[in-house]
Amino acid sequence: MNFNDLKMWIAKRLPTTQQTAAVYGVIVLIVYGWTLYWFAWKLPSWLYFLSAGEILVSLAYSMVVNFIESLIVLFALLLICAILPPHWFRERFTALGTALVILVMVALAYYLGTIIALQDFPPYLGWYVLLTVTGIALAVFLISKIKLLVKLLEEIANRAIIFLYLFLPLSAISFMVVLIRNIIEAFHV
């Protein structure tokens, strides 16, 4: 297989750049929003024992982790898109990817909250996860059949692109802060 054949195969299997950016905007909104929520929740107590610089460095590390997490979620969606037949997922990637991201992230947040509350894995977690995955797959399938929901999810995703203009530059600045901080600490050892 030469390079042009590979390029054509990828073009047939993966969504367009616009579709990918729209779904990535939703991912960024959820991942960064969740972190900023918890950051704001913990900030009042941090003010008692951390300096402003230490708080900003903590935020920078969080932004770097969020960037990596959001890319992992996006690559997982692109992998699903490449594996499934194009008429199942690629043609409606914006709507179905948005629905899948929202449902999976809500489920993960719920399971994380349950695990934190119990300080352990709940009994029958495997069965709950299996039921959740089955329910999410069924919900995404049903959503794909309702044109109004598809249009609504596409609009949400297209509007979420604005968050890329905010959080990607913040992530780049955070990468620089983390890199410089680690270089300085490496030379002080």
Residues 6+ apart with CB under 8 A from 20: 14, 74, 78, 93
Do the domain assignments include residue 109? yes
CA distance 28 to 71: 9
CA distance 42 to 169: 24
Do the domain assignments include residue 148? yes
**Residue 155 CB-half CA count within 13 A:** 6
Do the domain assignments include residue 157? yes
Do the domain assignments include residue 10? no
Do the domain assignments include residue 5? no
Please state, rounded to an integer, the average pLDDT across all residues of the chain.
Answer: 88
* In contact, 110 and 150? CB cutoff 8 Å: no
Do the domain assignments include residue 28? yes
The size of the chain, in residues, is: 189
* Higher-scoring residue by pLDDT: 188, 137: 137
Do the domain assignments include residue 44? no
Residue 169's pLDDT is what?
94
Q: Domain range holding 108?
A: 19-39+52-187
What phi and psi, each to the nearest 5 degrees, are found at residue 163? -70, -20
Do the domain assignments include residue 3? no
CA distance 84 to 105: 21
Once rounded to an integer, what is the mean pLDDT over residues 150-155?
Answer: 91
Query: Of all residues in the chain, what percent carry a pLDDT higher than 90?
Result: 45
Is residue 22 very low, low, confident or very high in pLDDT (cuts 50, 70, 90)?
very high
- Number of independent structural domains in the chain: 1
Once rounded to an integer, what is the mean pLDDT over residues 162-180?
Answer: 94
Amino acid identity for residue 92 in this structure: R
64-95 per-position pLDDT tens digit: 999 999 999 999 999 888 888 777 777 788 88
CA distance 121 to 104: 18
27-75 per-position pLDDT tens digit: 999 999 999 999 999 999 988 998 998 999 999 999 999 999 999 999 9
